[in-house]
């Protein structure tokens, strides 16, 4: 009976892995808007993997940064709400002991830059 939630009509978890990475900015915005709508309307949990720092801060209520399979930074609540992309990059560098390899992509406001 433990598998029932996985096969029922009531889905409670949405897993997204770089779901806007290969899209142009206009289409990516539409997909993100649709994602937000689905999550809000169905009251489901969404786990989104992204390299886009702006999306990581804009969406959801918790941000976890990983390096080589290990969590190096985990934030939520008031602390997360006040963070900028530059703050995330600084926290990653101080916790992981290294800077991210390609800040230009991560700081971009557009996909695919």
Asked if residue 45 belongs to a domain, the reply is yes
Question: String of b and e for 55-87 (b: at least 16 CB within 10 Å)?
Answer: bbbebbeebebeeeeeebbebeeeebeebebee
Round the average pLDDT of the chain to a whole number and report it: 80
pLDDT for the residue 83 = 92
pLDDT for the residue 101 = 65
Rg (CA), the chain: 16
Asked if residue 82 belongs to a domain, the reply is yes
Asked if residue 86 belongs to a domain, the reply is yes
How many Cβ atoms are within 10 Å of 88's Cβ, its own excluded? 22
Asked if residue 113 belongs to a domain, the reply is no
The residue with tokens 């976890």 is 64
Asked if residue 112 belongs to a domain, the reply is no
Which domain, by its residues, includes 102?
4-107
What average pLDDT score do residues 47-61 get? 87
| Count of domains forming the chain | 1
Domain of residue 59, CATH code: 3.40.50.300
Q: Inform me whether the pLDDT recorded for 6 exceeds 80.
A: no
Asked if residue 83 belongs to a domain, the reply is yes
pLDDT band, very low/low/confident/very high, at 91 (cuts 50, 70, 90) = confident
Distance, CA of 99 to chain centre: 19
- For the chain, the first-to-last Cα distance in angstroms comes to 47
Asked if residue 15 belongs to a domain, the reply is yes
SS3 52: coil
11-47 tens-digit pLDDT: 788 899 999 988 999 999 999 999 999 889 988 899 9
- Model's pTM, two decimal places? 0.70
């Amino acid at each position: 009976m433990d598998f029932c939630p996985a096969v029922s009509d009531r889905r409670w978890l949405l897993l997204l892995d770089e779901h806007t990475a290969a899209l142009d900015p206009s289409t990516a915005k539409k997909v993100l808007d649709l994602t937000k709508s689905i999550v809000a309307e169905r009251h489901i949990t969404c786990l989104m993997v992204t390299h886009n720092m702006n999306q990581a801060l804009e969406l959801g209520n918790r941000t976890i940064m990983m390096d080589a399979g290990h969590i190096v930074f985990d934030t939520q609540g008031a602390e997360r709400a006040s963070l900028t992309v530059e703050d995330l990059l600084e926290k990653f560098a101080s916790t992981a002991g290294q800077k991210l390899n390609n800040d230009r992509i991560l700081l971009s406001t557009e996909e695919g830059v």
